[in-house]
Amino acid sequence: MLLLGLTGSIATGKSTVSSLLSSPPYNLPVVDADKIARQVVEPGTAGYKAIVSHFGPSTPDLLLPATSENGGEAGPRSKGRFLNRPALGRRVFGEGGEKERKALNGIVHPAVRKEMYRQMIMAYLKGNWAVVLDVPLLFESGWEPLCGTIMVVAVRDPKVQIQRLRERDAHLTAEDAQNRVNAQWDVRDKAERCLRRGEGAGVVVWNDGDKDDLKREIDRVMSVVSRGHPQWWAWLLLLCPPLAAASGTWSYVRSWWIKRQWEQEKKLEKAKL
C-alpha cells in the first residue's frame, strides 16, 4: 500500500485537495492529522489537561466561557471548557514564539502519531492501494521517510496565500496572517524539496487558480502517481507480507537518504552566506 503524504502550508488549499482525493474517482482513505489533533485535545483527554497546565498561566483566555452548549463546567459530568483556539494560536504564533510552538507540538504530536498509525493499519488491511496522510507539517514532524510519495500543495504567489488566509479566518489582522505564514517553511521550498525525490515519488499541485484549475492539476499529478503504484501491486503486497516489509524498508531508506542529502546541501548553503 502506498503511503501518499499530503502537505503544504497554511492557506494553500491542502484541505480542498484532501477532500477531492477522498471523493470519486479516487476514493482514497484519508488519515487527517489536523482532525486527529483536535480529537486528542478535547476536554477530558490527556492532551487537553497538559495544554491547560502549560499554557493556562500565560494565556488567561485559553478556555472558552462555560456554557451548557459548549461542554463547560455546568454539571458534575463536565470534562471542562473547550480550548479557545484563536487565543492559543496567538500565543504560539505570536508572543510565545518558537519555544511555545515546540511545547504545544510536544504535547500533541505523540498522541496524533499513535492514532494515525492505527488508521494506516486499518487501511492496509482493507486492501486499499493507497492511503492519504494529510499532515500539514509533514517535513517538519519527521513523516517524510515513511511516505512512498509526497504531494505538496503550493502557490507560486505569496500574496495569494495571505489573501486566502484572511478570507478564511476573518478575525486575523494582516500582521497575524503574516506571522502565521512566516512561522512555517516557505511552501515553495517544500515544493523544491518534494521534487528532489524524483518522478512519482514527489509531486507538486500548484493551486494559484480556481477550483476547476485545481481539479485538472490533481488529475495530472495523480496520473503520475498511479502509474508508479498500480492496484495490482497493492494487492500483491497485501497477500505477501514479506514483500510488503521489503518494499517498505527500501522506500524508507531511499527517502531517508534523499532527506539527508537535502539537509546537508542546505547546511552548506548557509555556511557560504
> What pLDDT digit, counting tens, does each position of 95-119 carry?
777 888 888 888 888 888 888 999 9
pLDDT band at 234, cuts 50/70/90? confident
Whether 75 shows a pLDDT value over 60: the answer reads: no
Whether 77 shows a pLDDT value over 70: the answer reads: no
Amino acid at 238: L
CB-based contact 7:150 (threshold 8 Å): yes
- Rounded to whole angstroms, the Cα distance separating 38 from 180 reads 19
User: In the chain, what are the domains?
Assistant: 1-29+126-273 (3.40.50.300), 38-118 (no CATH)
User: What's the pLDDT score for residue 76?
Assistant: 43
The predicted-structure confidence for 19-58, as pLDDT tens digits, reads as follows 999 999 999 999 998 899 888 888 988 889 999 998 888 8
Q: Of 116, 137, 140, give the one whose Cα is nearest residue 263.
A: 140
The predicted-structure confidence for 134-151, as pLDDT tens digits, reads as follows 988 898 888 899 999 999
Average per-residue pLDDT in the chain?
Answer: 87
